[in-house]
Amino acid sequence: MLSFVFDTLTSDGRPVAVCVMCRSRDREIKETLKKLKNIEFGSYSSGYTVDYRLSSMLRELLEPFGGDIEVFGATVKAGKADCPTGGIIGRIGEGSESAAEGLFSSGGMTFYTAPGRFAFAIDGGIPGELTDKALEEGSAETIYSALTACGRDFVFIADGSGGGKGAAAVRGEIVMLSETEAKSGERTEFFGLKRIGIMGGTFDPVHYGHLIAAETVRDELSLDKVIFMPTGHTTYKKGRPSEGRHRYTMTALAAADNPAFLVSSMELAGKGYSYTADTVRKIRERCGRDTEIFFITGSDVVEYMSGWKDFSALTKMCSFAAVNRGGSHGGAALDRLSAAGADIKKIDIPDLEISSSMIRERIRNRKTVKYLLPESVEGYIRLHGLYTGGKAESALDTVLDKLI
Ligand code: ATP
Ligand code: MG
């Protein structure tokens, strides 16, 4: 398998970069890609417009090569665009994605994209020639030769400027440029939102029970956003959960197709134990005074919530949305919390007998988990060998670790 980055300019001097992997006919493909030279993208009003146009152009150009070729990333730097573009990413035949911010998995790989930056990762490492120095000098050839030299297995992250600045991983050691420092998937600004839901959980892994609970509450209470908050260390959970970054990434993958869902690493970033009261306080500080916050919880959590640190302070900072789990909203425990002054709304959701523990157990026992959780999350679990008793850290893990 040969890999290369094709780099050219649009008619008004915008750089275009396309990263291609092909089994054969690489010269022919290179020649074909030259047709991208001096193309006119029209108005640069939005990065996404440019992305989509490049995507369809590529699909048309590369159609004749069918399965011989895979395109892993393509990008245009649109200088005067209202918003910067991160290009497109994904396999051309399967339909590629614009660089809306997000994480997604396809064909056993995990991609991170963002306006102004793009990244892709394949399990493996990249040889030593790639240094940030070489990338700074803007040499597409440097990237090309390094990718070619290492064959299929490489991890590469670039900023979307057509072979200009970028970053690369060297056998698990990432060479960082500033662009990759921004956290993905997370927007820490909640200002302007009037009604926020917070869905706390271990999310080890996230599943359709969580998603249906969050979406139903969002709808019933007309929430602007639901923030998924994977927990850091907690006092109340037995056993050690998977690493925070895995739980964060899986939750981000699951939340990706719902514009009302956000994922926060606020609790994961802290070193010590995380307490809901502290988290809600921090979110309150970032919101307007009149913002209403609803903490979403299933009936099993309702049972022990009154024992949480600063619970009575928490009841003054937010309301609660209690969803049914196992047929109950929390029964007597719920009534006790209400009597103690908590504002609790009972929300009915379709009862789903799904739990993360059950999914972990099924994976350990090699049973199917299809239809219990999003496919992208299942793909991520398989890619990282989660819940099976372990697989060595891969370079991809290291890259994602730094990236998110
Ligand atoms: P585990 O089995 O590891 O405890 P879990 O499935 O209970 O995992 P958590 O991350 O512990 O998931 O739960 C986070 C929140 O989501 C809790 O408030 C929990 O009650 C709620 N929740 C989880 N699964 C469901 C479900 N199937 N229906 C309704 N609520 C759920
Ligand atoms: Mg649980």
Q: Which ligand is nearest the CA of 347, by number?
A: 1
How many A from CA of 281 to the centre of ligand 2? 23
Rg, Å, the chain Cα set: 23
* Confidence check: pLDDT of 388 > 60: yes
Report the pLDDT value the prediction gives residue 66, as an integer from 0 to 100.
Answer: 76
Report the pLDDT value the prediction gives residue 211, as an integer from 0 to 100.
Answer: 98
Report the pLDDT value the prediction gives residue 266, as an integer from 0 to 100.
Answer: 83
Q: Which residues contact 323 (CB under 8 A, 6 or more apart)?
A: 213, 216, 217, 296, 297, 298, 299, 329, 347, 348, 349
| CA gap 350, 373 in Å, rounded | 15
* Confidence check: pLDDT of 225 > 70: yes
Report the pLDDT value the prediction gives residue 143, as an integer from 0 to 100.
Answer: 44
Residue, of 37 and 43, whose pLDDT is higher: 37
* Confidence check: pLDDT of 79 > 70: no
Average pLDDT, the chain: 72
Q: Which residues contact 339 (CB under 8 A, 6 or more apart)?
A: none
Alpha-helical segments (H) within 221-308: 244-255, 266-269, 276-285, 299-302
| CA gap 157, 23 in Å, rounded | 22
* Confidence check: pLDDT of 351 > 70: yes
Report the pLDDT value the prediction gives residue 172, as an integer from 0 to 100.
Answer: 35
Query: What average pLDDT does this structure show over 347-359?
Result: 96
Per mean pLDDT, which range of 26-35, 152-161, 185-194 is the poorest? 152-161
- Partners of residue 17 on adjacent β-strands: 7, 75
Report the pLDDT value the prediction gives residue 228, as an integer from 0 to 100.
Answer: 94
Report the pLDDT value the prediction gives residue 186, as an integer from 0 to 100.
Answer: 42
For 195-220, write each residue's pLDDT tens digit. 999 999 999 999 999 999 999 999 99
User: In 122-278, at which residue ranges do the beta strands (DSSP E only) sit?
Assistant: 155-158, 166-170, 173-175, 195-201, 225-230, 261-263
**Omega prior to 205 cis, within 30 of 0:** yes
Is ligand 1 within 6 A of the CB of residue 356? yes
Q: Which residues contact 146 (CB under 8 A, 6 or more apart)?
A: 126, 127, 129, 130, 154, 168
Query: What average pLDDT does this structure show over 217-231?
Result: 95
| CA gap 51, 372 in Å, rounded | 33
Pocket test for ligand 1, best of 202, 234, 349 (most atoms within 8 A of CB): 202
Protein residue closest via CA to atom 14 of ligand 1: 201
* Helix/strand/coil for 129: coil
Report the pLDDT value the prediction gives residue 195, as an integer from 0 to 100.
Answer: 95
Instruction: Please report which confidence band the pLDDT of residue 257 belongs to, taking 50, 70 and 90 as the band edges.
Output: confident
For 120-160, write each residue's pLDDT tens digit. 443 333 334 333 333 334 333 444 444 444 444 444 444 33
Is ligand 1 within 6 A of the CB of residue 301? yes
Per mean pLDDT, which range of 16-30, 77-91, 130-144, 331-345 is the poorest? 130-144
Per mean pLDDT, which range of 7-16, 267-276, 346-355 is the poorest? 7-16
Query: What average pLDDT does this structure show over 359-368?
Result: 94
For 292-341, write each residue's pLDDT tens digit. 999 999 999 998 898 888 999 999 999 999 999 999 998 899 999 998 89
Query: In percent, how much of the chain has pLDDT > 70?
Result: 58
CB 82, CB 46: distance < 8 Å: yes
* Confidence check: pLDDT of 254 > 50: yes
Is ligand 1 within 6 A of the CB of residue 209? yes
* Helix/strand/coil for 230: strand
Query: In percent, how much of the chain has pLDDT > 90?
Result: 29
Q: Which ligand is nearest the CA of 359, by number?
A: 1
Query: What average pLDDT does this structure show over 283-299?
Result: 89
For 160-169, write each residue's pLDDT tens digit. 333 333 333 3
Residue identified by tokens 């990065």 is 47
Q: What's this model's pTM, rounded to 2 decimal places? A: 0.63
Query: What average pLDDT does this structure show over 380-388?
Result: 82
Residue identified by tokens 């670039």 is 158
User: In 23-108, at which residue ranges do the beta strands (DSSP E only) sit?
Assistant: 69-76, 88-89, 97-98, 102-106
Report the pLDDT value the prediction gives residue 394, as an integer from 0 to 100.
Answer: 54
* Confidence check: pLDDT of 381 > 80: yes
Given its phi and psi angles, is residue 390 left (phi above 0), alpha (psi -120 to 50 degrees) or beta? left
Report the pLDDT value the prediction gives residue 230, as an integer from 0 to 100.
Answer: 92
Instruction: Please report which confidence band the pLDDT of residue 245 belongs to, taking 50, 70 and 90 as the band edges.
Output: confident
Pocket test for ligand 1, best of 355, 359, 361, 372 (most atoms within 8 A of CB): 355
How many A from CA of 326 to the centre of ligand 1? 11
Is ligand 1 within 6 A of the CB of residue 323? yes
| DSSP letter (8 states) at residue 339 | H
Taking alpha carbons only, the member of 209, 185, 331, 201 closest to residue 261 is: 185
Protein residue closest via CA to atom 20 of ligand 1: 298
Report the pLDDT value the prediction gives residue 376, as an integer from 0 to 100.
Answer: 86
How many A from CA of 356 to the centre of ligand 1? 7
